[in-house]
Amino acid sequence: MAAAVGAAEGGLKKILILERLPRLGGILNQCIHLGFGLTYFKEEMTGTEYAARYKKMVYERDIEARTSCFVHTITPQKEITFVCADGEYTVSAKHIVMATGCRERTREMLTVPGTRPAGIFTAGLAQEMVNIYGVMPGKEVVVIGSGDIGLIMARRMTLEGATVHAVLEILDHLSGLIRNKVQCLDDFGIPLYLQHEPLEIIGRDRVEAIRYRNNQTGEHKILPCDTVLFSVGLIPEQDLLIDAGIEPGNGIHLVGNADYIHDYVDAVTREAEKLGRLLA
Amino acid sequence: MAKESTKKFICIICPQCCELETDGTEVKGAKCKRGKEFALQEVVLPLRVITTTIRGEAKEARRMIPVKTACPLPLEDIPQIMRYIKGVRISEIPALGSRINVGGYSKPIELIVTGE
Distance, in Å, from the CA atom of A209 to the CA atom of A251, rounded to the nearest integer, reads 50
Find out whether B114 and B68 touch, Cβ atoms under 8 Å: yes
CB contact under 8 A, B115 and A38: no
* Averaged pLDDT, groups of 10, chain A, 280 residues long: 96 95 94 93 94 95 95 95 96 96 94 95 96 95 95 96 96 93 95 96 97 96 97 95 92 95 94 94
Q: The pTM is what?
A: 0.91
CB contact under 8 A, B63 and A179: no
Contacts of B66 in chain A (CB under 8 A): 32, 46, 48, 131
**Residues B59-85: what's their mean pLDDT?**
90
pLDDT band at B116 (very low <50, low <70, confident <90, very high): confident
**Shortest Cα distance from B45 to chain A (angstroms)?**
12
Same fold, A2-101+237-279 and A104-234: yes
In this predicted structure, the answer to whether residue B2 has a pLDDT above a threshold of 90 is no
In this predicted structure, the answer to whether residue B3 has a pLDDT above a threshold of 90 is no
Chain A interface mutation, best of B7, B13, B14, B53, highest count of A Cβ atoms under 10 Å: B53
CB contact under 8 A, B55 and A52: no
Amino acid letter, A263: D
Q: For the purposes of burial, counting CB atoms within 10 Å of the CB of A94, is it exposed (0-12), middle (13-18) or buried (19 or more)?
A: exposed
In this predicted structure, the answer to whether residue B59 has a pLDDT above a threshold of 90 is no
Contacts of B63 in chain A (CB under 8 A): 132-134
CATH of domain A104-234: 3.50.50.60
Interface of A with B (CB under 8 A): 23, 29, 32-35, 38, 45-46, 48-49, 51-52, 55, 130-134, 159-161, 177-179, 182-183, 187, 263-264
Instruction: Enumerate the domain spans of chain A.
Output: 2-101+237-279, 104-234
Contacts of A34 in chain B (CB under 8 A): 49, 51, 68
Q: For the purposes of burial, counting CB atoms within 10 Å of the CB of B97, is it exposed (0-12), middle (13-18) or buried (19 or more)?
A: exposed
Instruction: Say what the ipTM of the complex is.
Output: 0.89
Find out whether A175 and A147 touch, Cβ atoms under 8 Å: yes
Percent of chain B beyond pLDDT 70?
95
Instruction: Enumerate the domain spans of chain B.
Output: 7-44, 51-113
Contacts of B116 in chain A (CB under 8 A): 23, 48, 52, 55
Chain B interface mutation, best of A28, A34, A133, A155, highest count of B Cβ atoms under 10 Å: A34
Instruction: Indicate the SS3 state at residue B32.
Output: coil
What is the per-residue pLDDT for B4? Answer: 55
Pick from A133, A129, A132, A102: nearest CA to A141? A129
Q: Say which residues have a Cβ less than 8 Å from residue A254's Cβ, sequence separation at least 6.
A: A98, A236, A238, A241, A248
CB contact under 8 A, B53 and A131: yes
Distance, in Å, from the CA atom of A100 to the CA atom of A105, rounded to the nearest integer, reads 16
For A2-101+237-279, the fitting CATH number among 3.40.190.10, 3.50.50.60, 3.90.650.10, 3.40.50.1360 is 3.50.50.60
Find out whether A215 and A196 touch, Cβ atoms under 8 Å: yes
Contacts of A52 in chain B (CB under 8 A): 96, 114-116
